[in-house]
Chain A
């Protein structure tokens, strides 16, 4: 009967409000993750954000929003995920049948206040070069900003990152903003499907929002195989036990003689 007590106990345990360290706050809660993205769907970008273009001129962020807009937050010296992410944007712009600068636009902003307009210009030239078709260069603009404006912008879109030494721990997503300044969708990761882009743009144009379909949470993280040895050991030992157990059953069945079935 002990077995029967075990199950209700486990149900209680699995439903109990244990502190779930891997998800300190779900969507909608203020104390979200330290690094990552809290989706602020249907919220609006504040009006007073000012960013700086490649020529060093201040630009009102809100005034740029005349069509469905993709906001991409990176830092230009990033040694990790930013390059694949920005390359992913260049690729999807090349592949999509929508016209950049007409159906939608992309705004890349650096969240590192130490970076200046010349870095933005170099990056713009590099990535514009990666687009494999004719396009309007104003459809994809690159900016920097000071720390106050970066703080306002990143907090408004729920983008959380952390400085470690000279670099940052952060994630990536295309953040869709409507011409009214409303946040409508996040596409996470570094590789984007044209169909996702198109659906996001169409819905953004209509001011509709939708939750993320695939949350490929690509973090700038370092994987340490040596430190993860215990995981491999768990799987190895588990596998050995299973095989040993099964081999024992088979051997016992083959070696020992069957008992006669009683016919009563």
Chain B
């Protein structure tokens, strides 16, 4: 074929800048996706190590490896890193950036420079958060929620952490706007809304949440800054403010943020399941509509984080009812994924293992969410390890497993190399066993009454904690296998040159491996529905 510059892969393309500048100043959506991937993987390792230290502290009652103040700081840092740096940008920033334009037949996102700016804002936000650990009066100890009034009372370094989260919010909003405009404007000819693959659909729902919800947390965090620096009484009762208002504002963002995390995860799973089942996805429109329904109803359920905080009985019933309502579209998706696999010819590969285990852990997370969503049981298990187990099953079991599935699915396309499949499967097995051993006992501990956020516990909780802490070590061992395999394979893995190693039907499998700078030589015309295996 022609040897014009267009045919050079995006990895080898030489632009205006050389070396690392060619990456951190690149406006190519694929390179930006990888910048996010590397940043996220690095901080995920940091967050995981902190989690491991916390679980090691909890292996026996009393002071084992750290004191209470250290523990408080570590769970705060663990939360801030995992939520604001990893799962909120997560799949949209990495795989959305990389694959959204390719999957809808475009050469880039609508605003490539804003796209690069959003990565820079994200990195600056991270740096600001990190300064809170090393400067001033010691790392913050409020938990990632920065609940008032404690966040005004603690002498620790809360402001930079809050401000860093605020800055990262802008990155999120810009990515959201970029994706919405890209999806509206840049779909290939023939790709009508209902011919668009499900991952872009999930990014579309997510992008609207990012645009609508993120400013709320931005304003709230600014109010904290105003209160701490200028002493205006928004939330602090000592100044005539209302701490419950803070909780409302915080969760008006942070609950939809859970859907920012999980919707793209569901989108990635909806890509993987049909490819490895060799079967058209079951109920395409139902999945699309449930995505939009989750994005919409997800706005109105924030109060279920506050059942014990003091609200009117009527508000409690309304929030509980809406919480049950939002479970329905999630259940529809699970039903559709399982139906897609039914009578398919299953190709048991690493991405598929991750996807199926996603469904398994997501269901445990979802069903325990209903236990928390109903008023009576919520009061019993509120602020216990049950809650911790639940949201780790959703956020880590959901988003985390889907992220791993997505990495293993799109890896050959992104790097033009294949990972060692045996090691990848081994990593998955160890990780999965470790995950369940780590988090399942927490449900039990929570029901027994072990509170969350304590560095210490009564002797009767010891056995459950031993199991959980051992699980943490097993899981991290699995993680190590997975990461080493991926990092090594990105450089030295077996070369992949064929366009479609998994037999996918979406557009990213029609372009070169790895994609060229502009993805498509000619913009394709789409006349088939995605996942057309019939």
- Residues of B118-151 contacting chain A, CB below 8 A: 124, 128, 131, 135-137, 149-150
Contacts of A36 in B (CB 8 A): 238
Once A15-B159, A26-B155, A253-B181 are accepted as A-B contacts, the answer to whether A219 and B237 lie under 8 Å apart by CB is yes
- B24 near A: Cβ within 8 Å? no
Neighbour of A217 across the interface among B136, B153, B163, B223, CB < 8 A: B153
- A213 near B: Cβ within 8 Å? yes
User: In the complex, A198 Cα to B450 Cα: how many Å?
Assistant: 12
User: In the complex, A166 Cα to B181 Cα: how many Å?
Assistant: 64
Contacts of A234 in B (CB 8 A): 219, 223, 234
User: In the complex, A18 Cα to B153 Cα: how many Å?
Assistant: 15
User: In the complex, A264 Cα to B61 Cα: how many Å?
Assistant: 67
- A228 near B: Cβ within 8 Å? yes
Contacts of A11 in B (CB 8 A): 128, 131, 160, 163
Contact yes or no, A223 B163, CB < 8 A: no
Contacts of A215 in B (CB 8 A): 150, 153
User: In the complex, A223 Cα to B241 Cα: how many Å?
Assistant: 7
- A54 near B: Cβ within 8 Å? no
Contact yes or no, A22 B227, CB < 8 A: yes
Contact yes or no, A261 B237, CB < 8 A: no
Q: For A206, give the chain B residue with the smallest CB separation.
A: B62
Residues of B in contact, count (CB < 8 Å): 61
User: In the complex, A7 Cα to B166 Cα: how many Å?
Assistant: 11
Contact yes or no, A20 B180, CB < 8 A: no
User: In the complex, A217 Cα to B522 Cα: how many Å?
Assistant: 64
Contact yes or no, A238 B228, CB < 8 A: no
Q: For B521, give the chain A residue with the smallest CB separation.
A: A263
Q: What's the count of A-B pairs with C-beta under 8 Å?
A: 130
Q: How far is the CB of A188 from chain B (nearest CB, A)?
A: 10
B327-353 vs A, CB cutoff 8 Å, 1 = contact: the mask equals: 000000000000000000000000000
Q: How far is the CB of A192 from chain B (nearest CB, A)?
A: 12
Contact yes or no, A20 B228, CB < 8 A: yes
- Residues of A6-53 contacting chain B, CB below 8 A: 7, 10-11, 13-15, 18, 20-23, 26-27, 33, 35-36
Once A22-B153, A223-B240 are accepted as A-B contacts, the answer to whether A7 and B212 lie under 8 Å apart by CB is no
Contacts of B208 in A (CB 8 A): 246
Q: How far is the CB of B204 from chain A (nearest CB, A)?
A: 11
User: In the complex, A22 Cα to B219 Cα: how many Å?
Assistant: 20
A-B contact pairs, 26 of them (CB 8 A): A7-B167, A14-B128, A14-B229, A15-B136, A20-B228, A22-B238, A23-B153, A26-B137, A195-B451, A210-B456, A213-B454, A215-B150, A217-B150, A217-B237, A221-B237, A228-B240, A231-B234, A231-B242, A238-B216, A238-B219, A241-B215, A246-B212, A249-B180, A249-B211, A250-B180, A263-B522
Task: Identify the B interface with A (CB < 8 A).
Answer: 68-69, 106-107, 124, 128, 131, 135-137, 149-150, 152-155, 157, 159-160, 163, 167, 177, 180-181, 184-186, 208, 211-212, 215-216, 219, 223, 225, 227-231, 233-234, 236-242, 245, 249, 449-451, 453-454, 456-458, 522-523
